A = this chain, B = another copy of it.
Amino acid sequence: MKAQIITIGDELLIGQTIDTNSAWIGAEMSRLGFDVWRKLSVHDLREDILVSLKESAGKSHVVLITGGLGPTSDDITKQTLCEFFNTRLVINLEVLKMIEEMMKRRNFPMNENNRKQAEVPESCRVLKNGAGTAPGMWFEKDGTIYISMPGVPHEMKYIMTEHVLPELKRRFASQVIIHRNIMTYGTPEARLAELLTGFEADLPSEIKLAYLPAAGIIKLRLTGTGASNVLVNNIIEEQVNKLYSVIPELIYGENEDSFEIVIGKLLRERGKTISTAESCTGGKIAHMLTSVPGSSIYYKGSVIAYDNKIKSELLKVPQTLLEKYGAVSTDVAESMAAGARDLLKTDYSVATSGIAGPDGGSDAKPVGTVCIAVASEKGTISEKHVFGNDRLTNINRFSIAALSLVRRQIISR
């Protein structure tokens, strides 16, 4: 079962918009057992859209198309679909009514652009959009299903979830493709590959292994193919168990696990709470922790102390430490963590102090230096790392290193 994705929009090609839609669609279609074998982005241009539709004919069971359905004049997907499917635009009264109701609820007046959004190609089946004004459209031609959806992510997701995925699931009995990710942290890719040489050599033929590195985290993706869920899951399970025995200390989670999710689970299980005391990470760690639904159970709050005065006045970091070692030091990070733990009354507190860049580095403490500390009833521990030169990358890597230390301290005896 093959599927391909076509995303339409100049903004995708000139790099003003990052194409997150096709990643989401790719993940959902893979889950249904489709091999998403090709992903194409083209301009809002009649000829380019037509070429991409013609190319896809007969090569995939399903073609998923997003974008170019907005109410504004630069969007031409609907007219072009009419041309490809040899049909014409007609007003769909049900869609019109829905748009009228939506505008009323939001207290915006209805205008000509909104009315145009109720026009659809006559030969398509309309897929209602409960999250916006542009409906989805389902076409079939010469054995291929074509589905056109708006490019606004939450509208596309609504139409996929409510209409497309359930119907595709019903219609396609499938060979099973299962992906399982093992999340590792703490070693570079080439070294990890060396550690796993024997493991790779012994992999059964139904299983493929891929290394996906990002911000110090390396995701090991095992992909299994076979006749049934049970069969494939069993083979993957066996290989996962092997991985746990080969690199136990490097694995921190599985599948979509991030450090913040893993830490959330550990804290809930133990009935413990956490706070953060951030300097160089500027709220990023708090944002990561609170991005997890239900985090208010274990996350209490934070002090972000960019200014040294806030470090000393609120977090009670002694002036002598700041003068003797400087703000970027393990001593100050430890004092910040302990101070936040006292002030915010949590079981754990994690602190960061470092130089995210691009300026502020020195020979002794170059840009990319970070000191992190975790305070808890087990005492206070700290680490120092040196990463790269890019500000946002550093903020991210500092935060991940800090959360890795939190995890290790929670599970330590």
Contact = CB atoms under 8 A, between A and B. Distances in A.
Given A24-B15, A287-B283, A72 B191 contact: no
A10 B276 CA distance: 37
A42 interface: yes
A26 B13 contact: yes
Nearest to A343: B314
A359 B28 contact: no
Interface in A96-123: 106, 108-109, 111-114, 117
Contacts of A133: 190
A268 interface: no
Given A16-B221, A190-B114, A221-B16, A300 B291 contact: no
A94 to B, nearest CB: 19
A48 interface: yes
Given A38-B40, A286-B304, A23 B15 contact: yes
A210 B11 contact: yes
Nearest to A223: B10
A211 interface: yes
Interface string A5-48: 00000111111111110111111101000001111111110001
A213 B152 contact: yes
B36 A13 contact: yes
A395 B287 CA distance: 9
A12 B23 contact: yes
A290 interface: yes
A186 interface: no
Contacts of A213: 70, 152
Interface stretch (A79-87, A231-239, A384-392): A384-392
A342 interface: no
A contact residues, range: 35 or more
Contacts of A190: 71, 108, 111, 113-114, 117, 133
A212 B13 CA distance: 13
A161 interface: no
A293 B23 contact: no
B300 A306 contact: yes
B40 A12 contact: no
Contacts of A314: 301, 343
Given A15-B24, A189-B70, A212-B11, A304 B306 contact: no
Contacts of A359: 293-294
Contacts of A357: 293
Q: Give the copy number.
A: 2
A39 B41 contact: yes
A282 B291 contact: yes
A1 interface: no
Interface centre among A24, A73, A210, A283 (most CB of B within 10 A): A283
A217 to B, nearest CB: 12
A262 interface: no
A17 B301 contact: no
Given A73-B193, A302-B302, A310-B344, 15 more contacts: A12-B23, A14-B36, A16-B23, A17-B23, A19-B23, A22-B41, A37-B48, A70-B211, A113-B193, A154-B388, A282-B287, A282-B295, A287-B287, A301-B306, A314-B343
28 contacts: A10-B210, A12-B23, A13-B36, A13-B37, A14-B36, A15-B27, A16-B23, A38-B42, A40-B40, A40-B41, A70-B211, A71-B190, A72-B210, A72-B211, A74-B210, A74-B211, A108-B191, A111-B194, A154-B390, A281-B287, A282-B289, A282-B291, A282-B299, A283-B284, A283-B287, A294-B359, A303-B303, A304-B304
Interface of A: 10-20, 22-28, 30, 36-44, 48, 70-74, 106, 108-109, 111-114, 117, 131, 133, 152, 154, 179, 181, 188-191, 193-194, 200, 208-214, 219, 221, 223, 276, 278, 281-287, 289-291, 293-296, 299-307, 309-310, 314, 343-345, 357-359, 388, 390-393, 395
